[in-house]
Structures are given as C-alpha cells and as structure tokens.
Structure 1
Amino acid sequence: MATKSPDDIKQSDEWKKAVDYAITDNDIERQEKLLGYMQAAKTREYIQTATTDNIRNFAHGTGDDNPLFCDPEYARGTRWGSVIAPGMMVGQINAPMLGDAPGDDIKALRKSLWKGVHVFVSGSTWDWYRPVFPGDTIYSYNGDETSEVKTSEFSGRSVITVRKDVKINQRGEVVAVYRILRVLTERKTAAKKGKYSALEPATYTDEDIAKVDEVYAAEMVRGAETRHFDDVQVGDSLGKMAKGPLTVTDVIVYHAGGYGFVPYAPTVGRLAHKNRKRIPAFYVKNEYGVPDVAQRLHWDPVWAQAIGNPMAYDYGVMRESYLWHYLNDWAGDDGIITHVHDEIRKFNYMGDVQTITGEVTGKREDGGQNLVDVKVIFTNQRGDETVRATATIALPKKGGIAMYPQVPRDLAEEAAKMMQRHWELSRKG
C-alpha cells in the first residue's frame, strides 16, 4: 500500500473525523464554571523524585552543561552543598497527589470538555520559592484561573486559558507556582487557514553552521564566579546564546530528559493500545494507516502539514527551558531566578535557529532582596521574534547572599492543607 501525502490525509475519513471537533458555546460555559476549582494532580510523570541522574539528564536535554546540575563533586563546593535541579525541571516532576474526588457537578462539567480540540502552550509565568534537591519528591495541585474567548489569525475561534500549577515538595513546602497560558484551537480551522504554509524550510551551508558554532563557542557559564548586584548596571547585556538548528533529535532528547507530556503520554505496544482506548480522539492514523498521537506534529512533518503547518515544530516548554538556561548562565551559581514571564509568539520549526539576547532593565531592593529585572528576546534566522520574556533575578551584594522570596501566606496555607489531606488519605490507604 502506498503511503499518503498530507493532502491524502486531509481527504481521509479518519482525518475528517479527527478534526471535526469544534469549540462550542457549551464548552465555553462549562469552562467558566470550573474557574477557581483546584484539585490534587494525580498524574504520575516520568520523573516523580529528583535524583542526581535525572537532574543531569534534564539539564542535558536542554543543552545545559552547568556543573551545578551535572557534577556532584563540583556542586558540593557551592552554597547549595549539592546538585540542584534547573528551575524549569520542577514543572516536569510529579508524583500522584491524593485529594478528595470531585463532586458530580465538577465531573459533569469536565466530561468530554474540549474533546478533539488542539492545545498550544503560548507562554507562562513562573515564581520560584526554593530549589529542588536530589531526593525531593514533587506533588502538585492545579486549576484554571482565567478563560477568554478570542479570534485568532491562525486558527479562527480560540479560547485562552491560564492554569495555575502549585508545586510542593514532600515536606509540604511550596517550591514554585507555574501559570501556563494555553490556546485551545480547532484543528480544521488551523488546517484550512494554513497561515504559515508558504514558509520554506531553512537550509544551511558549512559557512552558515560555522557562524552558529561561533556563538556556541563564545557562550560562558558564569558558574562559581559570583555576579554581584553592586556591579550590574541598567543597560548591561546578558550576552548571546544559540539554540539550533532545531532537529527531531532535539525533541527526542527533551523527552528523554523527562518531558512526559502526561496525561496524554506517548506510549508503546500494549500501553499505547490502552491509551487509544482511553483517549481515542488523541489518535489519528498516519500515512501508513497506523493510529498515532496527534502530538506527533512536533516530529512528523506529514501530520504537521496536514493540519496547516509547513513543518514540525518544537514544544513551547522547550524554549522556556532554553530561556531559563540563558538566564542562569548569566546569573551564576549564587544568583536566584525568582520570576519569569514569557510569551511564545512564533513557531520554532525544524531547521530554525534561535538566537537569544537580553539586557538589564532595572535594579531594585525589595523586602531585603537585591533584584535585577531583565528582558530577553528570541530571534530566528528569518529575523522573526519568536519569544519575548521578562525575568527577575536575585543577586548577592558583595559580602552578602541572595535569597529566595517568601511564599505568600495564603498560598502557603492553601498548599499545607492540600498536603495534609494527601497524607491523611495516604494513611487510610
């Protein structure tokens, strides 16, 4: 049997069924009623407890070779006394948290909500309150905070939601709060519009690759050389970093480093069979007639083109991890990234190179902390701005030490109650 082209797939009954899901008024109304409802996250991610090995693997999955994350002997000599995890890794660690089951009203609101609708991560806001050490198990609870209906140039009617994920360690301490900006779109609308279909894949000569290599060769990990608040000036450059050209290997390595994409979860064999039975709308036949995950648009060009993109592209969270890498290289081992807000403005297609630049926009003292505000831009080889971000970094003054911010009291109390209920149910079990 001959394989199918993107146009063939679009004509198949399977494709038409897969994209024949619309954003409905009923979905929008149910989403509004769910706002503010927080529930323990019962998903089991690929990583549940941090170890020296999975911390190193996650760092390497983002191209980060900082010995603070990768070399236990080096890390013992830092202020942390141990390897710690890159800040973004906490978003990928989760052990099942026990909590009270949702009531029938919540179950009814959630049933088949957004069935078959495509989800893009369009940005996020992070606040960090303490590091993750080897041996830390991370739990979380989450819920949607806001929901807004919009008309998108790329995908017609869409819904913008912000979900709050509170990440807690086994001691009941809030480690971070991760607010995810998600764009829910209709696959058939995106495929019909094909806004980016005219883009040509990037190609490179040896000379082009050499120019990218020059950026890589010049990158510096600040590491043990403390960057002091006293020495930083508004307008200072954060330097330049390269990421790319993007390959399918990059996506695979990011997954291997711990990105599990739970609860959808790419799986194999019998597990994939069970997953297809659980969430059939997530599986669409490929050009060989084999049911495969809809998320393969991140590595399968045929499927990506069938739904309106010229090429496969990265996960937004990959570039968020690259952003954290860039900031931490500048801050050094003694600096603490306390806050990040990023907006993912363009796709990062296979073959694209991201050049990351930034500068200091402000200095301030707040609550005993010495804080530096920065802005960061990702630009691809076409000159397109693909990510815009701002961040706050706590730096030590000479003779001092940088500290994490205090957890807001209401958040600490909310998290403590969630963990208390988890332990109560654990004992009953």
Structure 2
Amino acid sequence: MSETTEQTERTAGVIDPSDVEQAKSIRGLLFPSKVPELHTTASFDSIRNFARSYGDDNPLYTDESYGEGTRWAGQVAPPLVGVALNKPLLGDQRPIHTKQPAFRGVHNFVSGTAWELYRPVRPGDSLYTFQGLESVEEKRSEFAGKTLILTRRHVRMNQNAEVVSVARVILIHAERKAARSRGKYDHEPTAYTEEDLARIDAIYASERRRGADTRWFEDVRVGDGLGPMAKGPLTTTDIIVFHSGGYGFSPFAPASNRLGWQNRQRIPAFYTPNEQGIPDVSQRVHWDPAWARQVGAPMAYDYGVMRDCWLSHLVTDWAGDDAWLVRQSSQMRKFNYLGDTHTLTGEVTAKRMENGRAVVDLTLTGVNQRGEETCLATATVALPSREHGEVELPDAPAELTADAARLMQRHLELKSARGQARS
C-alpha cells in the first residue's frame, strides 16, 4: 500500500483539524450563495408542490385563486419555503483565506433550526441568500465520537432586496468511521396491524384547518391545545415526494447519468459505492437502509427539515389565514426512521404584546409510535386583534436590511457587466 493510499484511508471520514480552524476563522462573515436550489423563482406550481411535499393542502398555498379573498390578496408560500427556493446571488470573488472548509467525507446532520420570518413569498418572487457561520463548537458524541457543531445563518431576500427570513441551522458534523463503529442502537421496525392504521387514519380524519375562520387574539387562552396532527408511517415515497417539492439539492446537486458523472468529478467524496459497487450519493442515508447502517444508524431516516415543515404545518393550520408565524425554533432529539409514525401536538404557553403586535407563544412536540419525543419546538404567532387590528408584518433588523441592499446592488452591477461582456 502506498503512502498516499495509507494517508487517504487514515483521513477518510475524519474531521480535519485544519477544516475546524478554517471554520473558526470565518465566523461572523456573510457571503452570497451562488448555488441554485431546485427552484429559483416561485410560481403557483412550485409553491403548491412544496406545500404538498410535506402533506399540507392549505388552499392559501395550493389554490391559485383562494388567496384573493384573504388579507394577502393572492397566493402565498408556506413559511419555510426558503429551503426549496434559491437563485444564485452574484458577488465578488471570495478571498482564499475566507474559503468554506470542505469537511470531505464527513457526515452532516441537521439537529435544529431557528427561523425568523418577515415577509411572505408570492408567485413571481425570487429568493437570494447570503449566509455564513455564526458559531463553531467541538464536542464528543456517544453516536459519532468527535463531532463539530456549526450554526449557519441564512439570510434570504427577494428580488427587491427585502429581507424575507433569517434561518439559523444547527449542523452536526460526525466522523464517518466513528459513527459506523458506534452503530449499536437497537431498532425493531414497526409492523402495523389494521387496528394500528385505523388509529392513525382517525387522527387524519379529525384534523381541521382554521382557514378563513379568524382566530382572534382575545379568544385564545393559555393552555389551549393544538392538534393532534398525524404524520406517517414514514415511507421512502414520502422522502421522494419531499425532494420533488424542492428540498435537498443545494449544494450537492444530486443528478443522474452524465450530469451525475460530472457531479462525481466535482465532489468525489460525496459518492460511495453501494452494495453493487455503484457510486451513489451519501445523501441516500435517507432512503437506503443498507447505507444508513454503514453510517451507524439502524435504518434510513428523514430530514430534520421535513419535521420543521411538519411543525409549521401544525401551527398554520391552527392559526388561520389572517395570522403570521413570527418565529419558530426546533430541536431534533431522535431519528425519525422509515416506518415511524408521528403525532404532533402543541399548547399555548403565553399571550402578550410584542412591538405593538398581539402574539401568542406556543410549544410544539412530535412523538413517535414508541412514545419517544423526537422533535420539539417553540413558536411565536401574531394574531389579529379586535382591539389592536390586523397583523402587521415585523421589520427585519436594520443591519441585515443594509446588507441586503448592498449585496443586491453588487449583484445587479455584476449581472449588467456580464450582459455587456456577452454583447
């Protein structure tokens, strides 16, 4: 075995200390995102398909004309549509000393997100993102040995440089070899009887959307419940449908045939041989049980972002057409494996005024069929008030508004220069 081969085997799937130091050196910096998502501009169909991808049939999102009779005067997108919508934001060449660390061959898990929402996304809107690392923390984990916890901030703006949302994503980088060696968790896939399925179906049948029936702030009481809402049993089809709604393409851009080959040349460490010896994306932990076991998980599992969307679905169904989800913060406590079923519930924990808006605070939770709480969240929702009037949208932080204007101006300058060069 050559020295180069020995070095490759020794470092494959291991967190490189130089990557850690590089991550720490760029904390607090924000850079334009130049990678497109599956969708770059919202349309009636892309909004509808994203909502349906996580099981949401709210006509505010899925009906082309329903929204015309609401305060929004047209169709709007679900709150977390930013995970499926991004148009490349042109920017100056990134200095070499600020490059993004590679973390090649290291597994990446989303363990939670925190969203702040400022404006709706409508058909015709494009979203542009500038992002960067906010914090870097080294830890040791029972599941994966040495881990690195990164908080990445995504600021999304529309074509008018209006800040739409800010999302902080908590990412756990885990060493592949360590995770595989620690894959000792017992997991017995659930087999469902007709009675089990009937109980799940009964929850689906009982779910009600508030819709046009205004939920007034004055009518809400602390202790009021949300749900239950059912999600599952989780199938590979559910994962495929979530992808078809737009999630999971940036920055790795899974592709097929010649495009897949080109992608394999670009990021070879993202591809590993399957049981037939065929290079396939490491992302298949979400639909390939055999590869998931190689990672150290007993079964393929969902995306944390999918459960984020589920939790927001619980909130928007409860709140109704006139409300606004101000913020939502989640934690993913356990994996959600293929075959698992979740029941989502929530509770009103407080009523208060915030910056002139009547808001309620909520706690949300998702419990699987084994009685395990796999996800939990808090949310703040602005509701219309008989005393204070309809909901006014919150203002984005002034510094981010200034950053958005500056970056959009540079984007337009570079776009114009490119057009002139081509002509």
Scaled by the length of structure 1, the TM-score of the pair is: 0.94
Q: Which residue of 1 aligns with 2:59?
A: 67
What SS does the aligned partner of 2:80 have? helix
Q: Distance in 1 between matches of 2:274 and 2:169?
A: 30
Cα pair 1:83 1:134 within 8 Å, conserved: yes
Q: Is contact 1:18-1:284 (8 Å) kept? A: no
Confirm whether residue 396 of structure 1 aligns to residue 396 of structure 2.
no
Give RMSD over aligned pairs.
1.4
Match of 1:57 among 49, 58, 66: 49
Matched-pair contact (CA < 8 Å) for 1:52–1:83: yes
Alignment of 1:68-83 (within 5 A): 68-83=60-75
Distance between the aligned counterparts of 1:363 and 1:18, measured in 2? 55
- Residues 220-279 of structure 1 deviation map (CA, whole Å, 9 limit, x = unaligned): 111101100000111110121010000000000000111142111221000000000000
- Structure-to-structure mapping, 1:376-391, within 5 angstroms: 376-391=364-379
Q: Distance in 2 between matches of 1:181 and 1:194?
A: 22
Cα separation, partners in 2 of 1:266 and 1:362, compared to 1, 3 Å: same
* Aligned twin of 1:165: 154
For 1:18 and 1:370, how far apart are their aligned partners in 2?
57
- Contact 1:165–1:177 under 8 Å retained in 2: yes
Q: Could you tell me which residue of structure 1 aligns to residue 414 of structure 2?
A: 425
Partners of 1:17 and 1:57 lie apart in 2 by 42
Could you tell me how far 1:151 is from its partner in structure 2? 1.0
> Which range moves more in the overlay, 72-81 or 386-395?
72-81
Does residue 1:314 correspond to 2:314, yes or no? Answer: no
Q: What is the CA-CA distance between 1:74 and the residue it aligns to?
A: 1.6
Alignment pair present for 1:149 and 2:141: no
Letter in 2 for 1:105: H
Q: Alpha-carbon deviation of 1:18?
A: 10
Deviations 1:79-112 (A, max 9, x none): 11111000111222100100111112223xx36x
Within-5 A mapping of 1:268-347: 268-347=256-335
Give the 4+ runs in structure 1 shifted more than 6 A. none
Cα distance in 2 between the residues matched to 1:427 and 1:392? 41
Gaps of 5+ in 1: 1-12
Q: Is the 8 A contact 2:50 2:84 kept in 1?
A: no
Q: Which residue of 2 aligns with 1:374?
A: 362
Deviations 1:182-225 (A, max 9, x none): 000001111101142x1110110011000000000000111101
User: CA shift at 1:24, angstroms?
Assistant: 2.9
C-alpha distance 284-366 of structure 1, shift in aligned 2 (>3 A): same
Q: What CA distance in whole angstroms lies between the structure 1 residues aligned with 2:131 and 2:310?
A: 24
Deviation at 1:19, TM superposition (A): 8.3
Structure 2 residue aligned with 1:105: 97
2-structure distance, mates of 1:360, 1:291: 48
Per-residue deviation, residues 383-420 of structure 1 (Å, max 9, x unmatched): 11100100000001026201221111111111111111
CA distance, structure 1, for counterparts of residue 10 and residue 273 of structure 2: 9
Task: Check the 8 A contact 2:54/2:310 in 1, yes or no.
Answer: yes
Are residue 117 (structure 1) and residue 106 (structure 2) matched?
Answer: yes
Q: Conserved in 2, the CA contact under 8 Å of 1:91 and 1:167?
A: no
C-alpha separation in 1, matches of 2:274 and 2:245: 26
TM-score scaled to structure 2, two decimals?
0.95
2: CA distance, partners of 1:274 / 1:145? 32
Matched, 1:263 2:251: yes
Query: Alpha-carbon deviation of 1:17?
Result: 5.0
Contact 1:18 1:116 in 2 (8 A): no
Task: Confirm or deny that 1:238 pairs with 2:230.
Answer: no
**Match for 1:94 among 83, 86, 90?**
86
**Alignment partner of 1:181 is 2:181:** no
SS of aligned partner of 1:273: helix
Amino acid at match of 2:125: D
Q: Which residue of 2 aligns with 1:25?
A: 17
Write the letter of the residue equivalent to 1:44.
Answer: P
Conserved in 2, the CA contact under 8 Å of 1:123 and 1:344? Answer: yes
CA contact (8 A) 1:18 1:281 kept: no
Cα distance between partner residues in 2 of 1:408 and 1:222: 31
Higher mean Cα deviation, 69-78 or 350-359?
69-78
Contact map agreement 2:84 2:245 (CA 8 A) in 1: no
Task: Name the SS for the 1:87 alignment partner.
Answer: coil
State how far apart, in whole Å, the 2-side matches of 1:104 and 1:20 are. Answer: 24
Deviation at 1:425, TM superposition (A): 1.0
Residue in 2 that maps onto 1:140: 129
Moved more, 326-335 or 22-31: 22-31
Q: Are the counterparts in 1 of residues 83 and 247 from structure 2 also a CA contact under 8 Å?
A: no
State how far apart, in whole Å, the 1-side matches of 2:85 and 2:355 are. 30
8 Å contact kept, 1:353–1:380: yes
SS in 2 for 1:209: helix
Offset of residue 25 of structure 1: 2.4
Question: Does the CA contact (< 8 Å) of 2:13 and 2:107 recur in 1?
Answer: no
C-alpha separation in 2, matches of 1:127 and 1:155: 31
CA contact 1:19–1:188 (8 Å) conserved in 2: no
Q: Distance in 1 between matches of 2:116 and 2:54?
A: 20
Letter in 2 for 1:135: G
What displacement does 1:123 show? Answer: 0.4
Give, in whole Å, the separation in 1 of the partners of 2:399 and 2:271.
41
User: How many percent identity over aligned positions?
Assistant: 50
Cα distance, 1:355 vs structure 2? 0.7
